[in-house]
Structure 1
Amino acid sequence: MSFKQKFKPKLKIFKKKQKEKTDIDSLKAAYCEIRSENIEKFEDFPLSPETLKGLAKYNYVIPTEIQKESIGYSLQGEDILGAAKTGSGKTLAFLIPLLECLYCNKWTQEDGLGALVITPTRELAVQIFKTLNKVGQFHDFSAGLIIGGQNLKFERKRMDKCNIVISTPGRLLQHMDENPLFDCSYLKILILDEADRCLDMGFEKTVNAIIANLPPQRQTLLFSATQTKCVKDLARLSLVHPRYISVHENETYSTPSALIQNYIQCELYDKINFIWSFIKNHRFNKVLIFLSSCKQVKYIYETFCKLKPGISIMALYGSLHQSKRLAVYESFYFPSVNWVVQLDCPESANEYIHRAGRTARYQKAGESLLVLLPSEMKMLEHLEKKRIPIQEIQINIKKLHNIQGSLEGLLARDTHLKESAQRAFVAYIKAVFLMKDKDVFNVSLLDTDAFARSLGLAVSPRIRFLQKRQKMLSKKLEDSREEEKKLVDKIEQMSSDCEDIVCSVTEEKIEQNEIIKHKMTDLRKTTFNFYEENNENDVDDLLRIKRKNHEMDTETTMADITEKLISKKNKKPTTRAAIVKKILKKKILPNKKLFFDEEGQIIVNKGKEYVSEIAREYEKANEAGIDIEMAQKVLREEDKYDKEIFRTKIKQKHKNERKKLKERRTNKKDSDTESDGDDQPDLSWLPNLNERNIDSESQNSEQSEDDESVTNKKKRKHSPVKKTKTYNVLKKRKDDSSKAEINERTIREDEELALQILNLN
């Protein structure tokens, strides 16, 4: 093999990569020149050859209006808010930019997740996944369908190998929380199909949690039949200057023109008979019937299968197993639906549009029928606001079949079916009760007994949640009445107290005025009579009162007394409100805690008194929000100082305890020396004989106990009879006498030893 032949393949690979790079650069340069007016076919878009090949294979030649308007801006990397009628080709409007985004970024399996599509229902996710397999089959990207009901372990192992994920919100959040292989940190594009339903109250928390885990720097595309413009929704999706595209906004109607829409007014107890008659009269059409709860669908499916209407019936509801659900979806084939019947009134006008849009798709004809109760006729006003043309039709009574008797017979024979009917009854009433629009949905106006009989039930089941609600309402009414009574009593008491206060104040004022009058008259008498001049001859000069000083005193006393009396007269009685006002003026804050340091000074803000330099710098910094890393450092530094303070406190505590022990010992020694005297000898060096005797006694007692245990064991072997009370008493006396003898011996020995020592001295 020659040198040239050996390195020939490597040169080819290099040339291929270089060619791909030039093709991608030319495509990106052509994105800015896209104009929707100039586009008539998909070939007019600057798309990759793999995408064009996939579109041509499945006869996607001419783009729809939403595709013409949105694909150009999507390829340029802008965020899109796309609103278009049902069946107008929104799926391709976001799948083509998705494939081109990954193609231009040279995405491979090693790069991980690059595109994420979120849909509210499993059937819609399956439909998008099938379309992606058709259009993107010539690309090298790996795609995964992640929906509830599938094998979770199978999905978990392969999540890191998926470049495109199509999922429902609940299952996606489960993988985000539980699957360590799921990594969306390099996500390039996020797509929400049926965005208004994804962002409503049902999926609000899950979608918020999903978006919190996604990178903020990404492209976001939102498509729906009824697009939301809510600022809160757009803010939480972190859209940057989104381009709003609504191709049918200026049209007279918001639903497809080929869709014929009708409604009928029907009583609740006639609904089952009506839908049975409708199925019997449309046996050669494909009919899609919507109900408000899964349990209703299950019951009607079971009963109608047993009654045999002459047409195949399939049930599709949330609690159905996923394999059965997919089988029903495949066999029914949704795009070719002739009739959409909404047997129960939808929650809103948007919900009606989504349901009715299952027919008349891709410029095909279709019909929809809405069944309304007399209490639900206000829904027509909401439909008119949404520009939905709907006409009333009448039921042909001749073609209406009554199946109430046959249903009663089925329930009498089958207890399982009877329980299913009871659950369906409660589920419908609960669904009506939980609806937001109470002007349209009113539970109190429903004839529940007649509805139960129409389902084949002899007696209407108990509606416990309504009973609980009525009890709660009655309790609230009673509580409110009691509170009103208490308030009325308080007001009456306050009014009576006010009247008493006014009366007492007026009486006090009258008494004060009379006292003032009496005092004024007395003072006048004293001023004129007390200071009259006496005869100079009768009294000596020594006993005569000096007139000048007393005149001044009398004037001052009169003025003071009058001022005091007037102030007392004008003084108002002190009330609680006046005391509170005084406290407020003094700016006294009640229930306030004050913290003092070791020096006795008040700590102004105990929670934010930092010691370390890092903490003080962090406190001075006026930044919005909380820096978590900096806060952790501050806590660590502050913990060091707290630990040092705690250690010093413990050391000081131990020192104080030692001091106290030393003081106690010294005090004990001083007391012992004072009590013994100076003449007595120091006998502290002698051994304590009592301790020895005690030790010997304990050893003897242990030996005796061991001996007794041995003897007792022997006795138990020979004689099973237990010891009597007399024997125990005698043994106790012997032990006491032996202890007394030992004590007497020890005392004698001590006395003898002490005498010997004294004699030696």
Structure 2
Amino acid sequence: MKVKGKKQFGTTMGAQTDREIQELKQKYESLPLEDEIKKFVDMPLTQKTLKGLLDSKYVAPTEIQRKSILTALIGKDVMGTAITGSGKTLAFLIPVIEHLYMNKWSRTDGVCAIVISPTRELAYQIFETLKRIGRYHDFSAGLIIGGKNLKFERRRMDQCNILICTPGRLLQHMDENPLFNASTIEMLVLDEADRCLDMGFEETLNAIVEHFPIDRQTLLFSATQTNSVKDIARLNLRDPIFIGEKTKSEDVIPELLQQNYVVMELEDKITMLWSFIKNHLKQKIIVFFTSCKQVKYVFEIFCKLRPGTSLLALYGTLHQDRRIAIYNDFTRKSNVVLFATDIASRGLDFPTVNWVVQMDCPEDAVQYIHRAGRTARNKARGESLLVLTPTEEQGMIKELEDKNIHIKKIHIDPKKLFSPRLKIEAALAQNTELKASAQRAFVSYVKSIFLMKNKDIFNAFKLNLENYAKSLGLVVTPRVRFLERLLKKKGSETKMVTESNDFEHEDSDNDEDFLKVKRVDHDLGNNVEEVTLELPKKNKVLTKAAAAKIAIRKKLTPNEKVNFDEDGNVIVDKRKEIQSEVPEEYENKDGGINIEIAKKVLSQEDKYDKERFRQLVKQRHKLQKDKLKELAEANLQSNTADSESDDDVDLSWLPDPDLIYNADRKTEENVTSEMNSSDDMEEPTSKKAKLTSKLTLNDAESIAAQLLANKV
């Protein structure tokens, strides 16, 4: 009975779904006017979508949502442009959800829609928004970005109906994952389309589009939309509908955004930033830098200095889980400073950001728009501050005015600036890792300025690098090798041109003045005159490895030591020469390598080496035997000398056995006197020799024992 009830319930739900789909298709044929739509309920949307929007507190659509959703629902290709924070994410997610519902897409049908985002954080934000508004639908979605578990993604690719991804990771799955099938795709969405279509992603996106079917719906959204016919052709757009003003750049700037800029010397930027943070401790601030290494160093040194507010850093080299945690942390807090690169400049919806500070000049006006658009979102107020150096001011302001972006110049009160340079230098002196980070940040900034395309704004040769290094706390200016090589190359070329024009031949009666050299002040060109780069001169120690590299590069033949015998003939070291005959044929052969001959060469040379090794072993054994023989002879001589010294015993202290010893004292005295007289008459050496020749050691000991017994 339960099974039957479930069947009846499923049949009823299926009938309701079919009825709802038919009603929506009828509404698509007569869409309401844009002015008539005041809320999402007024749009022809499914009940599940409307319920998800209501639970997420999305009630009234924005202008870009009213225009694009109605157009996308009927299957048209859309190119939408709107100011930052105007709700472009919902403008393409709602049509995607409705398309899957209207076509009864299930989990077993594969991938239906793909949303491509240029950054991981933006893809994560889109995925979170999709989970909120599509919670009541049955289809599945997947987040495919770098830094996540690739094996986990591979196993579940065929179970997802919507993929939200970055270009690089999507192409990796297309090339490596056999479960991924792109032939079922019916919708393609590019968020921040101008960034996805630029030179950085051109090859990747071209490879991705080749996998997609031509018969599909394409939606492009960005604050600064592309108008290139080439881009439209690459994506196979079919009569796209342009929504939003695509000719006026001021329309992409929020009305409540207050734009200012300030001119500061490069070495004063750290002081200005520190003072700015100290004066805005209770506000939410985003600070943009050009490179990851700059963000990392400024974040580390400011954490050491402790300005009195929360500090976060978001840059590309962080692990993806860490980046998502920082993004969520910044979104949740109200008083915080986020140091970030341009990965945070596009599409990310940070709520209630009070200030956007661009410490490094943006690449162009488009990049400025996206950075400044992180504040003043959803009709809220915000302020943007652009920090320019004197050399960047004229070119950047001109480019902004060409895009109809008007920005106001302000001046900072010097009394409110206080430099943390002494504290920074002390911190770097105590921490070698922090010092290395400062050096990397220095080189990274110079490299980024050098690689900028617009040379009217960015000129690395005009930077005062010595003062900039001191502002980072570095006592010694780090070397910038690529600038050194470039300056050296320019200097050598200029010198060649100068010397070729300096020599003049003049007719003179004096032969010594036949050739004169005249030094003339030549114009060396703008690029060389404007060089203010002072590089430190160091006496570099020339190592053996460096000397060898120089010799190889200059093709120098090193000196060789040659030994001669007494007749003047060269002594040849056979160890360094090839002994067999086959190698001569092998070396004289022209072109290529003959493996067979090479094997013969190795085998013959191996035989010679083994024979030579045997001779060396024999010589070593002979030397060892000679040493052992010498040691044996020396030990024998020492033993003989020891035995002779043991036999020669001095027995002069024993009494004479030929004399008769009496008990009375007088006799003893007479005997003693006689012995003394006899000793005087004879040499002691002869007597000693006599005793030694007649008595042995045992006899002498027995006699001494008897004498002692008689005496007792």
The TM-score with structure 2 as length reference comes to 0.65
- Answer yes or no: is the 8 Å Cα contact 2:248–2:403 preserved in 1: no
Paired residues for 1:654-665 under 5 Å: none
Richer in helix (by share): 1
Q: Which residue of 1 aligns with 2:391?
A: 375
Residue 72 of structure 1 deviates from its aligned partner by: 0.8
- Answer yes or no: is the 8 Å Cα contact 1:198–1:204 preserved in 2: yes
- Answer yes or no: is the 8 Å Cα contact 2:112–2:162 preserved in 1: yes
Equivalent residue in structure 2 for 1:423, among 432, 440, 446:
440
Residue 471 of structure 1 deviates from its aligned partner by: 4.2
Q: Which residue of 2 aligns with 1:174?
A: 172
Distance 1:335 1:79 in 2: 31
In the alignment, is residue 297 of structure 1 matched against residue 314 of structure 2? no
Q: Which residue of 1 aligns with 2:373?
A: 357
Equivalent residue in structure 2 for 1:27, among 4, 24, 27:
24
Distance 1:176 1:262 in 2: 45
Secondary structure at the counterpart of residue 455 of structure 2: coil
Distance 1:407 1:6 in 2: 74
Q: Which residue of 2 aligns with 1:116?
A: 114
Paired residues for 1:277-356 under 5 Å: 277-333=275-331, 334-356=350-372
**What amino acid is the match of 1:75?**
L
Distance 1:87 1:447 in 2: 38
Distance 1:250 1:473, change over 3 A: closer
The superposition leaves residues 311-346 of structure 1 with CA deviations (integer Å, 9 ceiling, x where unpaired) of 111111000111221111111012221110000000
Residue 479 of structure 1 deviates from its aligned partner by: 8.7
> Aligned-pair RMSD on alpha carbons?
2.2
In the alignment, is residue 464 of structure 1 matched against residue 481 of structure 2? yes
Distance 2:169 2:496 in 1: 45
Distance 1:463 1:250, change over 3 A: closer
Higher deviation after alignment, 239-248 or 224-233: 239-248
Residue 211 of structure 1 deviates from its aligned partner by: 1.2
Secondary structure at the counterpart of residue 388 of structure 1: coil
- Answer yes or no: is the 8 Å Cα contact 1:71–1:94 preserved in 2: yes
Distance 2:72 2:383 in 1: 34
Distance 1:148 1:336 in 2: 28
The superposition leaves residues 589-616 of structure 1 with CA deviations (integer Å, 9 ceiling, x where unpaired) of xxxxxxxxxxxxxxxxxxxxxxxxxxxx
Q: Which residue of 1 aligns with 2:236?
A: 238
Residue 157 of structure 1 deviates from its aligned partner by: 1.4
Q: Which residue of 1 aligns with 2:530?
A: none
Distance 1:424 1:100, change over 3 A: same
Distance 1:251 1:358, change over 3 A: closer
The superposition leaves residues 395-454 of structure 1 with CA deviations (integer Å, 9 ceiling, x where unpaired) of 111110111121111111111111101100000000001111111111111111110111
Equivalent residue in structure 2 for 1:406, among 401, 417, 423:
423
Distance 1:255 1:159 in 2: 39
Distance 1:302 1:290 in 2: 15
Distance 1:112 1:477 in 2: 65
Equivalent residue in structure 1 for 2:194, among 193, 196, 217:
196
Residue 159 of structure 1 deviates from its aligned partner by: 1.2
**What amino acid is the match of 1:344?**
D
Distance 2:157 2:438 in 1: 42
Residue 32 of structure 1 deviates from its aligned partner by: 2.9
Equivalent residue in structure 2 for 1:389, among 384, 390, 406:
406
Residue 26 of structure 1 deviates from its aligned partner by: 2.3
- Answer yes or no: is the 8 Å Cα contact 1:254–1:388 preserved in 2: no
Secondary structure at the counterpart of residue 43 of structure 1: helix
Distance 1:477 1:139, change over 3 A: farther
Distance 1:150 1:62 in 2: 36
Equivalent residue in structure 1 for 2:459, among 431, 439, 442:
442
Number of positions where the alignment pairs a residue of Structure 1 with one of Structure 2: 482
Q: Which residue of 2 aligns with 1:132?
A: 130
Q: Which residue of 1 aligns with 2:572?
A: none
Q: Which residue of 2 aligns with 1:501?
A: none
Distance 2:152 2:9 in 1: 38
Distance 1:96 1:354 in 2: 24
Distance 1:77 1:205, change over 3 A: same
**What amino acid is the match of 1:30?**
K
- Answer yes or no: is the 8 Å Cα contact 1:254–1:386 preserved in 2: no
Paired residues for 1:701-712 under 5 Å: none
The TM-score with structure 1 as length reference comes to 0.61
Distance 2:199 2:490 in 1: 26
In the alignment, is residue 41 of structure 1 matched against residue 57 of structure 2? no
Secondary structure at the counterpart of residue 47 of structure 1: coil
**What amino acid is the match of 1:452?**
A
Distance 1:251 1:442 in 2: 27
Q: Which residue of 2 aligns with 1:649?
A: none
Paired residues for 1:435-584 under 5 Å: 435-473=452-490
- Answer yes or no: is the 8 Å Cα contact 1:66–1:247 preserved in 2: no
Distance 1:455 1:41, change over 3 A: same
Distance 1:32 1:335 in 2: 38
The superposition leaves residues 250-294 of structure 1 with CA deviations (integer Å, 9 ceiling, x where unpaired) of 695430011111000000000011101111110000110000000
The superposition leaves residues 687-731 of structure 1 with CA deviations (integer Å, 9 ceiling, x where unpaired) of xxxxxxxxxxxxxxxxxxxxxxxxxxxxxxxxxxxxxxxxxxxxx
**What amino acid is the match of 1:126?**
Y
Distance 1:276 1:335 in 2: 24
**What amino acid is the match of 1:364?**
A
- Answer yes or no: is the 8 Å Cα contact 1:146–1:155 preserved in 2: yes
Residue 469 of structure 1 deviates from its aligned partner by: 2.8
Distance 2:492 2:184 in 1: 56
**What amino acid is the match of 1:212?**
E
Distance 1:246 1:434 in 2: 33
- Answer yes or no: is the 8 Å Cα contact 1:79–1:241 preserved in 2: yes
Higher deviation after alignment, 243-252 or 115-124: 243-252
Structure 2 unaligned spans of 5+: 332-349, 503-712
Residue 10 of structure 1 deviates from its aligned partner by: 4.0
- Answer yes or no: is the 8 Å Cα contact 1:116–1:189 preserved in 2: yes
Q: Which residue of 1 aligns with 2:514?
A: none
Q: Which residue of 1 aligns with 2:258?
A: 260
Aligned-residue sequence identity (percent) comes to 56
Q: Which residue of 1 aligns with 2:660?
A: none
**What amino acid is the match of 2:448?**
A
**What amino acid is the match of 1:45?**
M
Q: Which residue of 2 aligns with 1:211?
A: 209
In the alignment, is residue 432 of structure 1 matched against residue 449 of structure 2? yes
- Answer yes or no: is the 8 Å Cα contact 1:253–1:387 preserved in 2: no
Residue 21 of structure 1 deviates from its aligned partner by: 2.3
Distance 1:274 1:240, change over 3 A: same
Distance 2:3 2:272 in 1: 80
Secondary structure at the counterpart of residue 72 of structure 1: helix
Structure 1 unaligned spans of 5+: 486-761
In the alignment, is residue 50 of structure 1 matched against residue 48 of structure 2? yes
Distance 2:496 2:124 in 1: 54
Distance 1:6 1:457, change over 3 A: closer
